[in-house]
Structure 1
């Protein structure tokens, strides 16, 4: 049976974070608030948990799951290199709504879907998410919704869509900004915008210089 914790209550927050961390370590799914929308998350290195996440969303392996981290050091361990541009973007926009596509560290044993050797990584600007991530390590996290439905901006919305597939729901209140993260691909010679989002393209261009867009 799913458990739900109100993170505006200090005692429930503490208990909820402990329960959520234990659930993640046990290969179960949790829902957590982020600075964009609610996310459904699992241990990034537990194959069965990532598969369960995809099944809960009704999503195929052709749409790999992004990874959220609680520290820049954790992100650095997941990738071959942040590179100069990646480091500059991290310094300016993390934690925050910026997702970077980077070459994955080839020594890691994980399966996030058909990633073609890359990983989408982000450090969210939300205290509950950061506290959980610092306890669990990197988590595979996707928006908390069934595929094709709008992402949940409240824990009620997430629970209505995902129900008992999730072990622990962390209620951080309504999301203040439901605009998705900006996604930048750093695996090509020129950084490329894959999705326009909360961080304006002009601000990113101001850091990295030339930036390719889909337009």
Structure 2
């Protein structure tokens, strides 16, 4: 397996993998870190998502987001009743810093949001991330920081937080907002609720 050149930082040496090699690691069960348009992502294939709670020291009642390279990768998991509204939002704001929480079912929901009937989904506006996701398939993702601590905003911080995990290269990563995505919840036809304000300013209909 070929490694990209290692890059010396103030604190430690960061070794990066290209999208082909990192995707291969993901398929074998590894957790990885890659850039997005908002914050660096800690990720794994959904089948191996349970490790992310332990790695991040995250409470078990906090779910993960399913990130994909395009809406078709993601919408196969959602309820048909929300599909039209989700497609309209995706057309306007994806790729981008919008996470939609949509009614969904199946094993992937149990893997990322156990005991619930919805799932957060996003397509990032980051070419490096899209390249990886197109090879790996949708990934379970969360911000690359320990639970309760400030989020990592760059590769150096992410590698310091999780020195044992491989990173997507090359470095430096593209510029990102440094803010979490905006999160909206589908309530019913044409109705959304903002759960978290983030890097995308959005007004949605809800009553």
Asked if TM exceeds 0.5, the reply is yes
Going from structure 1 to structure 2, the CA distance change for 1:115 and 1:88 (only over 3 Å counts) comes to: farther
| Counterpart Cα distance in 1 of 2:83 and 2:179 | 27
| Counterpart Cα distance in 2 of 1:5 and 1:180 | 30
- SS in structure 2 at match of 1:194: strand
| Counterpart Cα distance in 1 of 2:43 and 2:4 | 15
| Counterpart Cα distance in 2 of 1:26 and 1:110 | 20
Aligned residues of 1:35 and 1:125 also touching (Cα < 8 A)? yes
Aligned residues of 2:184 and 2:195 also touching (Cα < 8 A)? yes
Going from structure 1 to structure 2, the CA distance change for 1:87 and 1:5 (only over 3 Å counts) comes to: farther
1:38 to 40, 43, 53: 40
Tell me how far 1:96 sits from its aligned partner: 0.2
Aligned residues of 2:36 and 2:176 also touching (Cα < 8 A)? no
Tell me how far 1:174 sits from its aligned partner: 5.9
- SS in structure 1 at match of 2:49: helix
Going from structure 1 to structure 2, the CA distance change for 1:94 and 1:109 (only over 3 Å counts) comes to: closer
Please list the CA deviations of residues 10-43 of structure 1 after superposition, one character each: whole Å capped at 9, or x if unmatched: xx98x61111101110010110000001001100
- SS in structure 1 at match of 2:18: helix
Across the two proteins, how many residue pairs are aligned to each other? Answer: 195
Equivalent position of 2:152 in the other structure: 152
Aligned residues of 1:182 and 1:196 also touching (Cα < 8 A)? yes
Q: With the length of structure 1 as denominator, give the TM-score of the two structures.
A: 0.81
Quick check: 102-111 or 125-134, which moved more? 102-111
Q: With the length of structure 2 as denominator, give the TM-score of the two structures.
A: 0.84
Matches within 5 A, 1:55-94: 55-81=54-80, 82-94=82-94
Quick check: 51-60 or 119-128, which moved more? 51-60
Matches within 5 A, 1:198-213: 198-202=199-203, 205=204, 210-211=205-206
Aligned residues of 1:63 and 1:114 also touching (Cα < 8 A)? no
| Counterpart Cα distance in 1 of 2:50 and 2:166 | 15
Matches within 5 A, 1:67-146: 67-81=66-80, 82-106=82-106, 108=108, 110-114=110-114, 116-146=116-146
Gaps of 5+ in 1: 7-11
Tell me how far 1:150 sits from its aligned partner: 1.2
Tell me how far 1:108 sits from its aligned partner: 5.0
Tell me how far 1:153 sits from its aligned partner: 1.0
Please list the CA deviations of residues 138-178 of structure 1 after superposition, one character each: whole Å capped at 9, or x if unmatched: 100100011111111111100111111x2344345264311
Aligned residues of 2:110 and 2:116 also touching (Cα < 8 A)? no
Going from structure 1 to structure 2, the CA distance change for 1:85 and 1:5 (only over 3 Å counts) comes to: farther
